[in-house]
Amino acid sequence: MGTVSNSLTSTANTPVTASGSTSTMFNGTSQYSQDFQNVITRAVAIATLPITLLTNQQTALTNQSNELTTVDTDFTALQTAVQGIQDALNGSSFNTDISDPTVASASVADGAQQGSYSIQVNDPGAYQTSLTTTTWASSGGPATYTLLAGGNTYPVSATDDSAATVASTINAQYGNLVNATVVNVGSSATPDYRISLQSATLGPMDLDIKNASGTGLQTAQTPGVVASYEVDGSGVTVSSDSSSVSIATGLTVNMLGAGTTNVTVTRSTSALSSALSSFADAYNAAATEVAAQRGQSAGPLQGQSIVFDLSQALSTIGIYNTTSGQVTNLEQLGLDLGVNGQMTYTPLTMMSTDLTNSTDVTSFLGSSTGSGFLQVATNALNNLEDPTTGEVKTTEADLTSEITDIGNQISTKQAQVDQLQTNMQNQLSQADALIASMEQQYTYMTDMFQAEQTAALQYANE
């Protein structure tokens, strides 16, 4: 009797399964090998069904996450546009006009308000100065001096006793009190270097440099005088040890000479108009993206509660109005919200309103931390975009976590399916090999009996 092989011949045929993995085609040698292949295929298909469901769920969540990223970008841009309106109301967009620029100059900062201010400078003040009495003598070695400023003494330890080093040491250590410079009171050919001291504030101040023996080296030059001024004809004289004084929130005046001047502060209408135009564009982009998540053929966020919250935030911003002042709604600023949810901006309307009711425009817009439209818009957007508690941010984080969790589940179940497939292939390979062996034995025995019958018939016929 011939020998029978118990091994199966397998080939790596790799069709894609529902989960995205591959399976090995079962190739046996018995007449039932195809049946065994069908058993494996069906078992793997059934075991793969949960993976298919998880994969579909993961795909849906990934699409939601991608869409939410787009929404996040649009609402962040809207936040930036709202901040742009705030910036247009701050000092950077204000202009100042000085009736007499020889008396004072002015600068504005956040908090400035439009208006006209009068300042009478009685005395712009002066800084106390002193100069070394004789040519500064230097031996080149380290030296210790004492600075006298405003009745107090301060040690000065210089690495060498040259005028330049002593002056720079004084500036480094006591620059808040005095400013030390080296001046040449001689000629280029025969220089005469000395140290000049100037007080850091206006008003009288004793200024001197004393050597190690306590001898004063300076002589007083310009006497210090405090500045004095009056605002808006109040009759109240104000003294200051600085030439720069704040006469209103966000408005600083630098006194230059005696006299009276008017300071007029106006807000740049063009800057505010540009900010409102950018706001309308950002609002429309966000509204378009949110609208695409509703109705037939809606986007990935269809049916999610966050779509309602996003719509509510846009509505809160878009229909904001108040009952106080001459400016009570966005339409008066040229921002018209249509029935399609899109905002149209008309610059001429805004400019006309700002020209006649500038103060009410400022009041209506308010500030992000105070009141008015900007506070309402800022709060609505912060509820969505706050890095820690914003709904958009937390929803994005939750989706990412859920997608990762499902991915781990898919990996675990796929490993189980792969193991099931391997086990079934091994078991059925053994069964197929046994059946193939029995089939070969059956064929051998059948052939042998057939040969004996043929031989017997031939013998009988003889």
Q: How does pLDDT run across 276-293, given as a tens digit for each residue?
A: 999 999 999 999 999 999
pLDDT surpassing 50 at residue 8: no
State the total domains in the chain.
2
Look up the domain containing 201 and give its range: 127-220
pLDDT surpassing 50 at residue 18: no
Q: Is residue 12, in this structure, part of any structural domain at all? A: no
Residue ending a domain, choose from 191, 220, 249:
220
Domain shared by 202 and 321, yes or no: no
Kindly report, residue by residue over 338-382, the tens digit of the pLDDT: 999 999 999 999 999 998 988 899 999 999 998 999 999 999 999
Q: Stretch 5-34: mean pLDDT, rounded?
A: 51
Q: Encoding tokens for residue 371?
A: 């009141």
CA–CA gap between residue 168 and residue 147 (Å, rounded)? 13
Q: Is residue 139, in this structure, part of any structural domain at all? A: yes
CA–CA gap between residue 113 and residue 323 (Å, rounded)? 22
Domain shared by 338 and 275, yes or no: yes
At 24, is the pLDDT very low, low, confident or very high (cuts 50, 70, 90)? Answer: low
Q: Rg of the chain's alpha carbons, rounded to an integer?
A: 45
Cα–Cα nearest to 104, from 262, 266, 251: 262
Kindly report, residue by residue over 295-348, the tens digit of the pLDDT: 888 999 999 999 999 999 999 999 999 998 999 999 999 999 999 999 999 999
- DSSP letters of 5-48? -----------B-TTS-B-PPP--SSTTHHHHHHHHHHHHHHHH
Q: Is residue 53, in this structure, part of any structural domain at all? A: no
CA–CA gap between residue 307 and residue 313 (Å, rounded)? 10
Q: Is residue 44, in this structure, part of any structural domain at all? A: no
At 4, is the pLDDT very low, low, confident or very high (cuts 50, 70, 90)? Answer: very low
Q: Encoding tokens for residue 265?
A: 């502060």
Domain shared by 166 and 281, yes or no: no
Backbone angles phi, psi at 175, to 5 degrees: -65, -20
Q: Is residue 48, in this structure, part of any structural domain at all? A: no
Distance, CA of 44 to chain centre: 49
Residue ending a domain, choose from 357, 378, 398:
398
Q: Is residue 312, in this structure, part of any structural domain at all? A: yes
Domain shared by 182 and 134, yes or no: yes
- Between the CA atoms of 294, 297, 299 and 301, what dihedral angle is there, to the nearest 10 degrees? 50
Contacts of 118 (CB under 8 A, 6+ apart): 231, 232, 233, 260, 261, 262, 263
Domain shared by 285 and 366, yes or no: yes
pLDDT surpassing 80 at residue 20: no
Contacts of 200 (CB under 8 A, 6+ apart): 127, 175, 176, 177, 178, 179
Helix (H) or strand (E) holding 255: strand 251-255
Q: How far is CA 299 from CA 68, 289, 291, in A?
A: 10, 9, 9
pLDDT at residue 337 in the model: 96
Kindly report, residue by residue over 50-93, the tens digit of the pLDDT: 999 999 999 999 999 999 999 999 999 999 999 999 998 886 67
pLDDT at residue 430 in the model: 83
Domain shared by 78 and 133, yes or no: no
CA–CA gap between residue 299 and residue 67 (Å, rounded)? 8
Residue ending a domain, choose from 349, 375, 398:
398
Domain shared by 392 and 275, yes or no: yes
Q: Is residue 309, in this structure, part of any structural domain at all? A: yes
pTM of the model: 0.66
315 burial class (0-12, 13-18, 19+ CB within 10 angstroms)? middle
Kindly report, residue by residue over 249-275, the tens digit of the pLDDT: 889 999 999 999 999 998 888 999 999
Q: Is residue 13, in this structure, part of any structural domain at all? A: no
Q: Which of 111-125, 128-142, 195-209 has the highest mean pLDDT?
A: 195-209
